[in-house]
Amino acid sequence: MNKLVTWGNELYTGKRSYPFTSKHRLWFAIAGALVILSILIPVVKGGFNLGIDFRGGSEFTVSGVQNTDIKIGEEAVTSVASGSEATVTNIAQNTMRVQTERLSDDETLEIARALADGYQVQAKEVTSNFIGPTWGQDVSRQALVGLVAFVVLVGLLMAVYFRTWKMSLAAIVGLFVVIIVTAGIYSISGFEITPSAIIGFLTILSYSLYDTVVVFDKVRENTKDFTKQSRRSFEQLVNLAVNQTLVRSINTSVVAVLPVASILFIGSYMLGAGTLKDLSLALFVGIIISALSTLFVQAPLYQWLRRNDADVAEHTKSIAQA
Amino acid sequence: MSSIRPVKQARKALLWLLIVFIIATGVLVAGAATGKTAWGPKLALDLEGGTEMILAPRVQGNQTINQEQLDQAVEIIRQRVDGSGVSESEITTQSGRNVVVSMPGTPDQATRDLIQASAAMEFRPVLVSGAYEATPKDKRTAKAELPNPKDEPKNASDTSWVTADLYKQFEAYDCKTELAKGSGEDADPKKPMISCDTGTQAKYILGPQEIPGDQISDAYAQLARGSNGSVTGEWVVVIEFNQQGTKTFADTTQRLVALQGAQNQFAIVLDGETISAPTTNAVISDGRPQISGGFTQETSQALAEQLKYGALPISFDIQSERQVSATLGADQLKAGLIAGVIGLVLVFIYSLFQYRALGLVTIASLLVSGILTYLALVLLGWGMNYRLSLAGVAGLIVAIGLIADSFIVYFERVRDELRDGRPLASAVDIGWGRAKRTILASKAVNLLAAVVLYIVAVGNVRGFAFTLGLTALIDLVVVYGLTHPTLVLLARTRFFADGHRLSGLDPSLLGVEPLYKGAGQIRRFGENAEANRGKKNAKASGEAAKRMTIAERRRAEALQSSQPGKQESKAQEENNE
């Protein structure tokens, strides 16, 4: 603790300082490269691994299975609907997942029964899930509506609160960096895109801006009346603010990531695929990227946007001369 | 003097939190003791097991569906599901577009069909009326006496529609058993049918369809007026037909008014069931028939609603259907809870590591937030029928980090003020003033996200958004009602005010030079930062010492002699620089 607190002190007084704003070109270049990669990789890989909710189809989960032979599941499906492809996976201990193309209601119920017989479990251990072909689109469309509505509203909220639209703009540009990079990493992981993952992405929106607001509030405080002092330039004041809130940023990210990591661990270990796992992976990546982006993208970007404002430019010039 | 007000406020805030806590607990205990609510929150289907269907309404043609029609559709589905004997089913609308049906267990094929089928409303003339129950076998009409029509029926009211087979079927038809089966299949509009009227406990043979339901343009309930225009106090239902309906209805009433007995009646049929079979008293040529007869305000409005619904037949496509086994539900709940507990414990350990004794305040605040959230979930389940889903549990776990962050922002602000050389009590007051703004702004972002998500969400995103928003609010309550007041009071204890090594607010560790600080002297933000910079330090401190009043210098000296150890460590720090 001593070292960490001393480190915090030094960041606070400005004795120790990391060049968040002055090296903005480097950070922007890295962020830009990551964004491009995140767009390219899914394209090269041939799109995202869309979950059954987006393809439409039937999905069965059998719990309490002793014999996790994949053949049993495949036979159960073909016995009812011959010719339909079944993907059978052992997703967790004693749990099998069977995915098929879209089946009729009757077939769905019959396969559920056949699976229960085949795996020698009671009928109530079989969970079935039938998804219409438009369900996934429905979810994504609503998510998109939510994204747009949220960005517009939060942009206004921040512009009013901070009384400068440049903070809003910087925050929202950073937000898109976060979303795109998170989606890219998610795609590399090969996890399926499910409605739960979409929930995760939407939460990152909130988390990313939340994190930015805390740092920007300090920036606002430090740069308030910046023209009345001549010790530091505007850029240095922004950088000081980021350094001063660095301990908070680290503590917050750790505290936010710990529970999410525990969901990710439990979700993967105990349940295999499902709501918890997809959601927590998106969040896990998103929280870390959000925290980094606030430091390396949002804050320097705000400073960069303001650099040619009359008051900032004049002040910087007068400091350089002194 | 200035220190007394914050203490009073802090005590008041704690008292308020305690009152809220006691009231919520009291309501829960009272509710649970009288059996009106369970001790735990209601669980959604993915945690409890059961079936969930998400249905998208489909309207004939290109008409769009409005909220009112959707609500009526839900009402119809609810009646159908309840009628089929499935208990505890829940039917709700989502984002004004989808209908969600949740029920325990697995519905059979009949129930499934019933839910999906479009509600067809139609008007048919009554041909024969009979008792609700089946006619006892020995009293049924002998074979020779059964109707045996030879001619083709001339119009919908023609009794030659009633064949011997149909009549036999009619006599054997027992409304109670047939309705329990939940027949609900669509009758051919060009053929006669048997239909029951649960309201008046009668069954009818009805002629072919005269007017389909979509020719109704409106229906409403109103108080009837007598011939002199005065209100008679009797409730009636008025139907308004469109142009085509008006014409057909005029022809139909023209025919029916001349007929006797049951044939004088026309039946309004919804989903194969007769909801009303009024007699015809006059030829209605203006397309605005009025149904009267023993209505109360409630029954007349209910009928009007049903008629209005008939104006727009809606059928449903299954968007997604999930059957979750109770085992999987329990597994998921268990996994969620374990993840939550692990996450919470990790956060506890980290806060103790980072903030020492102050970490205990974080832990207490998180625990109180947890209890308040639990109370809120149970009470919302009771009052609003809120059900906790797996996504909701995930929202709660994510919220741990967001709630803890409010404390981190606050504590870091207090530390900042300490670094500027303020004594703890005023550092807490001023740090709070600044942290408050940040916390409010950031929670506003959280809440906004939760509200937007909740409004646009489909499927289980909603449960997630709900818990996220709920915990943002609870976080504010706890920060204002517990964390801040506790810190104000703790700042006045010796352990914290003297900056004990384990307090987490040890000024010597925070690089503070307590001697620089005179009572009542407020330093400007950032001044200390300058003072602490490198070589200037000694000079600056000398200047600061010069600026002190005599009383301050004495106090400083007294402090110095009472805390020799602290001075040493400070001296070392200076040397290090």
What ipTM does the predicted assembly reach?
A: 0.82
Q: What is the pLDDT of residue A29?
A: 94
Among chain B residues, CA nearest to A57 = B320
Q: Do B347 and A258 touch (CB under 8 A)?
A: yes
Residue in chain A nearest B404 by alpha carbon: A255
Token readout for B398 is: 């994510």
For residues A263 and A160, the answer to whether their CB atoms sit within 8 Å is no
What is the per-residue pLDDT for A180? 92
The 10s digit of each residue's pLDDT in B488-499 is 998 888 888 777
Three-state DSSP string of B260-274? CHHHHEEEEEECCEE
Structure-model confidence comparison of residues B539 and B199, the more confident one: B199
* Strands of the sheet with B216-225, listed across from one edge: B216-225, B231-241, B290-295
Of B290, B314, B302, nearest in space to B120 by CA: B314
Instruction: Using an 8 Å CB-CB cutoff, list chain A residues near B458.
Output: 138-139, 142
Nearest to B321 among A130, A153, A252 (CB): A130
Is B563 a residue whose pLDDT tops 50?
no
With contacts defined as CB-CB under 8 Å, which chain A residues touch B427?
A: none
Q: Nearest-CA neighbor of A282 among A297, A267, A294? A: A267
**What is the spatial distance between Cα B214 and Cα B76, in angstroms, rounded to a whole number?**
16
B361 pLDDT more than 80? yes
Distance of CA A64 to the CA centre of its chain: 33
Contact assignment for B401 to A256 by CB distance below 8 Å: yes
- Which residue among A5, A161, A276 sits closest to B441, beta carbon to beta carbon? A161
Q: Which range among A141-155, B85-99, B447-461, B465-479 has the greatest average pLDDT?
A: B465-479
B479-495 mean pLDDT: 89
Instruction: Specify burial of residue A159 (Cβ count, 10 A radius: 0-12, 13-18, 19+).
Output: middle
What pLDDT is recorded for position B436? Answer: 92
Mutation pick from B325, B402, B434 vs chain A, by most beta carbons of A within 10 Å, is B325
Inform me whether the pLDDT recorded for B274 exceeds 70.
yes
Residue type, B279: T
pLDDT score of B297 more than 90: no
Q: Which residues contact A149 (CB under 8 A, 6 or more apart)?
A: B452, B455, B456
Tell me whether strands B266-270 and A57-62 are parallel, antiparallel or unpaired.
unpaired
| B536 or B321, which is more confident | B321
Contacting residues of B for A53, CB less than 8 Å apart: 320
Give the mean model confidence (pLDDT) for residues B268-292.
82
Q: Is B183 within 8 Å of B281 (Cβ atoms)?
A: no
Nearest-CA distance A108 → chain B (Å):
10
Helix (H, G, I), strand (E, B) or coil at B368: helix
Radius of gyration of chain B (CA): 38
Percent of chain B with pLDDT over 90: 10
Q: Which of A12-21, A87-96, A255-264 has the lowest mean pLDDT?
A: A87-96
Which of B101-115, B154-168, B561-575 has the largest mean confidence?
A: B154-168
Q: Determine the Cα–Cα distance for residues A135 and B97; give it in Å rounded to an integer.
A: 12
Nearest to B438 among A12, A206, A214 (CB): A214
Which of A10, A124, A287 has its CB closest to that of B326?
A: A124
Cα separation of A107 and A77, whole Å? 9
Write out the E strands in chain A.
57-62, 86-92, 95-100, 126-131
A44 CA to chain B: closest CA distance, Å?
30
Mean pLDDT of B159-163: 81
Nearest CA to A49 among A202, A183, A143? A183
Tell me the C-alpha distance between B163 and B128, whole Å: 12
Q: Which residues of B touch A263 (CB under 8 A)?
A: 336, 339, 343, 394, 397
**pLDDT for res B61:** 58
Give the closest-approach CA distance of B125 to chain A in angstroms.
Answer: 37
Cβ neighbours of B575 (radius 10 Å): 7
Q: Which of B112, B344, B445 sits opposite A154 (nearest CB)?
A: B445
Q: How distant is the Cα of B285 from the closest Cα of chain A, in angstroms?
A: 46
Banded model confidence at residue A21, pLDDT cuts 50, 70, 90: confident
pLDDT at residue A175, rounded to an integer: 93
Task: Give residue B271's pLDDT band: very low, low, confident or very high (50, 70, 90).
Answer: confident
Instruction: Return d(Cα B159, Cα B34) in angstroms, integer.
Output: 59
How far is B541 from chain A, CA to nearest CA, in Å? 16
pLDDT tens for A261-315 read: 988 888 777 665 566 788 888 889 999 999 999 999 999 999 999 988 888 888 8
Give the pLDDT score at B536.
Answer: 40
Q: At A293, phi and psi to the nearest 5? A: -65, -40
Predicted local distance difference test score (pLDDT) of residue B309: 65
Check if the beta carbon of residue B289 is closer than 8 Å to that of residue B239. yes
Q: How far is A195 from chain B (nearest CA, A)?
A: 8
Using CA coordinates, name the residue in chain B closest to A214: B438
Residue contact A146–B353, C-beta within 8 A? no
Hey, which of B159-173, B400-414, B554-568 has the most confident mean pLDDT? B400-414
CB–CB of B320 and A124 under 8 A? no
**What is the band of B83 on the pLDDT scale with cuts at 50, 70, 90?**
low
- Chain A residues in contact with B405 by the CB 8 A cut-off are 210, 214, 252, 255-256
User: What value does the mean pLDDT of chain A take?
Assistant: 84
Q: Choose, out of A163, A219, A226, A251, the residue to mutate when testing the contact with B (most B CBs < 10 Å).
A: A251
Q: What is the pLDDT of residues B327-339, one digit of tens each?
A: 777 877 888 888 8
Report helix, strand or coil for A114: helix
Q: Which residue has the higher pLDDT, A240 or A140?
A: A240
In Å, how far is B293's CA from the nearest CA of chain A? Answer: 44
Q: How far apart are CA B308 and CA B305, in angstroms?
A: 5
SS3 B205: strand
Rounded Cα–Cα distance for residues B206 and B185 (Å): 16
pLDDT at A66 over 60: yes
In this predicted structure, what is the pLDDT of residue A288? 93
Percentage of the residues of chain A whose pLDDT score is greater than 90: 22
Question: What are the structure tokens assigned to B422, written together?
Answer: 């303020």
Please indicate whether, in this complex, the C-beta atoms of A279 and B415 are within 8 angstroms of each other: no
Alpha-carbon distance values, A22 to A43, B335, B573 (Å): 34, 46, 30
Distance from CA of A22 to the nearest CA of B (A): 21
Residues B286, B121: Cα–Cα separation, whole Å = 21
User: Does residue B531 carry a pLDDT above 70?
Assistant: no
Q: Whole-angstrom Cα distance, residue B543 to residue B8?
A: 37
Percentage of chain B modeled with pLDDT above 70: 79
User: Among B86-90, B199-203, B462-466, B524-528, where is mean pLDDT lowest?
Assistant: B524-528
Chain A closest-CA separation from residue B432 CA (Å)? 14
8 Å CB contact between B57 and B116: no
Indicate the residue of A63, A150, A259 with minimum beta-carbon distance to B328: A63
Return left, alpha or beta for B396; rule: phi > 0 is left, psi -120 to 50 is alpha, else beta.
alpha
Residue numbers in A near B468 (CB within 8 A)? 203, 206
Across the interface, whether the CB atoms of A105 and B528 are under 8 A apart is answered: no
The answer to whether A202 contacts B415, with C-beta atoms less than 8 Å apart, is no
Enumerate the residues of chain B whose CB falls inside 8 A of the CB of residue A91. Answer: none
Q: Cα-flanking dihedrals φ and ψ of residue B65, to 5°? A: -105, 135
Q: Give the amino acid at A315.
A: H
Of B326, B452, B459, Cβ closest to residue A146: B452
pLDDT for A271 equals 62
**B369-375 long-range CB contacts below 8 Å, 24 or more apart?**
B369/B403, B369/B471, B369/B474, B369/B475, B369/B478, B370/B344, B371/B21, B372/B20, B372/B21, B372/B24, B372/B474, B372/B477, B372/B478, B373/B399, B373/B467, B373/B470, B373/B471, B373/B474, B374/B41, B375/B21, B375/B24, B375/B25, B375/B28
CA distance B487 to chain A (A): 18
pLDDT tens per residue, range A199-248: 788 888 888 988 899 899 999 988 988 888 888 889 999 999 999 889 88
CA distance A82 to A59: 17
Backbone φ, ψ for residue B392 (5° rounding): -65, -40
Long-range Cβ contact pairs of B24-28 (< 8 A, separation 24 or more): B24/B372, B24/B375, B24/B376, B24/B379, B25/B375, B27/B379, B28/B375, B28/B378, B28/B379
A64 with B327: Cβ contact below 8 A = yes
CB A157 to CB B317 under 8 A? Answer: no
Q: Using the beta-carbon criterion (under 8 Å), do B530 and A231 form an inter-chain contact? A: yes
What pLDDT sits at residue B367?
93
Of A106, A150, A283, nearest to B452 by CB-CB distance is A150
* Count of CB pairs separated by less than 8 Å, A with B: 272
The reported pLDDT for the residue numbered A30 is 93
- Residue A57 contacts residue A129 (beta carbons within 8 Å): no
Name which of A125-129, A166-170, B376-380 the model is least confident about: A125-129
Query: Which of A1, A52, A59, A164 to probe by mutation at the B interface, max B CB count within 10 Å?
Result: A1
Mean pLDDT (chain B) is 77
Helix/strand/coil for B195: strand
Q: Which of A216, A144, A62 is nearest to B457 (CA)?
A: A144
Other CB atoms within 10 A of residue B391 CB: 27
Residue B401: closest CA among A115, A284, A54, A46: A284
Q: Higher pLDDT residue, A151 or A125?
A: A151
Q: Which of A2, A7, A13 to mutate to test the interface with B (most CBs of B within 10 A)?
A: A13
- The pLDDT confidence band at residue A26, using thresholds 50, 70 and 90, is very high
Spatial separation of the C-alpha atoms in residues A6 and A12, rounded to whole Å: 10
Nearest chain A residue to B395 by CA: give it.
Answer: A203
pLDDT the model gives residue A99: 83
Q: What is the mean pLDDT of residues A41-61?
A: 79
From start to end of B88-166, where are the E strands? 90-94, 98-103, 121-131
Q: How many CA atoms lie within 13 A of A213 on its CB side?
A: 30
3-class SS letters over A189-203: HCCCECHHHHHHHHH
Nearest Cα neighbor of A130 from B317, B330, B57, B393 is B317
Contacts of A15 in chain B (CB under 8 A): 532-534
Cα–Cα dist B422/B414, whole Å? 9
- Vertex A23, ends A17 and A26: CA angle to 5°? 135
Across the interface, do B457 and A105 touch by the CB < 8 Å criterion? no
- Residue B455 CA to residue B451 CA, distance in Å, equals 6
d(CA B122, CA B267): 8
Q: Token pair of A288, please?
A: 């870390």
Give the distance from residue B457's alpha carbon to the nearest chain A alpha carbon, in angstroms: 6
Structure tokens given for B343: 């996450």
Cα distance between residue A229 and residue A310, in whole Å: 16
Task: Name the least confident of B105-114, B244-253, B424-433.
Answer: B105-114
